[in-house]
Amino acid sequence: MTGLAGVRTRLLRDRDELYVGGEWVRSQSRSVIEVENPATERIVASVVAGDGADVERAVGAARTAWPAWGRRPVEERARLVSRLADELAARGGELGVVTATEIGTPLRQAIAAQAGMPVEVLRASVRVAQRHPWRQSLAGSTVVREPAGVVAAITPWNYPLHQIAAKVGPALLAGCAVVLKPSGLAPLNAFAFAECVAAAGLPPGVFNLVTGPGREVGEALVTHPDVAVVSLTGSVASGARVGQLAAAGVKRCCLELGGKSANVLLDDADLDVAIPSAVWQGLANSGQACNALSRVVAPRDRVAEVEERLVAAVEELRVGDPFADGTDLGPLISAAQRDSVRSHIAGALASGARLLTGGPRAPEGLDRGHFLRPSVFSRVAPDSPLAQDEVFGPVLVVLPYTGESEAVAIANASRYGLSGGVWSADPDRAARVAGQMRTGQVKVNGVRTRDRFDAPFGGYGHSGVGRELGEFGIDEFVEVKSILR
């Protein structure tokens, strides 16, 4: 494919410069990060691994830029963020190729979701910003929302462009300037995003890109005295470390740290609709999603039917080359992630859980690449590691219940609380059960997060602190002032 070859030549290439102050600049660091294609295990590019000096330069550029940016009318900021969305939309096919290559998401899904969702997020954020109460009368005072200042955005590899957009868009609309540190496992899309920023005409310094290791670049950002807000999506361990470091500087943190979300099928659920949705909301992107509904909570008197239907649907999924027609699931991001999932599967088997389909081996013919067959388990104790730990891979567990109260108890028996689902023929009944679930977002009858990008997203407990998207997402990046007179 000539077009595909052109994209690979232009975007899947070595990057030896960082984007700082509106320019592509050289780093003093000579270290690099190699980017692997997880489907082939081949290195497709390398990017510069920045250091503390690069962080200093980027934060300085952001600090210089944000006062003037914050004084611009929100209509002007919204216009430029809309232009950024347009730039991303125009390059959707190219961005899909990049993410399919460095993450392994099947190309058609990469174009629709990995490249499409960031556009939707930015446009939804613009709509929210245009109606946001930046200045309002309240309790005899004038309440003003002002930009917090410089934002450090630290993003993951699994939905990288989406997470960049979910942090950068609201921060820019709030009048802040941003320094982005993307994951070293999937950094190429961030360079493409920076190119879109430049093409959209955003002022120099309001967006800056520094790649590098978390221990050096990430921690330098978090502890920098001129950074006002830290927004991280990552593991619980990463979030705890960032929170600890930020506390010394009394910085605000927005931490989205993953989940182990339950999909509750009530006894009147329509399984013809619920099961295909349950499979996709649990296994999309090979289960590498923080809001994956990986626990299927099913009525005890229907659990055999639920398991049979899940197995049939999962066994129809095609695992393979992300660029091949008809592929449903690609590889895991890395050998380490694949081996971690295998360890969870092995532990479950050793504890007596019943494997209905899948297992720890790659599908036949896929010996190269970090592939695994999607798995479904039953006879899993609700307090077992497989039912409690975030596997972050293509694994579903079925947990039976008797009565609504037990279903809710199982759903809530988790240290996480990011997402969830409820299915019922009666939407009001589903909403009532959803109201009892201790989680930041609950999807009724298959509604997806991407269907409601104006709604807040974030979690309870170990799923994090703060919210993204909608008005709540913008308010993570503002200071609130009361003018009394």
Active site (catalytic) residues = 256
Overall size of the chain counted in residues: 485
Q: How far apart are CA 139 and CA 388, in angstroms?
A: 45
Q: How far apart are CA 338 and CA 392, in angstroms?
A: 9
Name residue 23's amino acid. Answer: E
What are the distances in angstroms from CA 83 to CA 17, 192, 276, 465?
24, 15, 36, 30
Token code pair at residue 53: 């000096």
Radius of gyration of the chain (CA): 22
Other beta carbons within 10 Å of 454: 12
Residue 9 CB-density burial (10 A; 0-12 exposed, 13-18 middle, 19+ buried): exposed
- Edge-first strand listing for the sheet containing 420-423: 354-357, 375-378, 395-401, 295-299, 262-265, 420-423, 443-444
Q: Is 352 left (phi over 0), alpha (psi -120 to 50) or beta?
A: left
Q: How far apart are CA 323 and CA 85, in angstroms?
A: 25
**Residues sharing a CB contact under 8 Å with residue 358, sequence separation 6 or more, in sequence order:** 314, 345, 372, 373, 374, 375, 376, 394, 395
**Residues sharing a CB contact under 8 Å with residue 305, sequence separation 6 or more, in sequence order:** 271
Angle of the 160-173 helix axis to the 92-102 helix axis, nearest 10: 130
Token code pair at residue 443: 């999807």
Name residue 120's amino acid. Answer: E
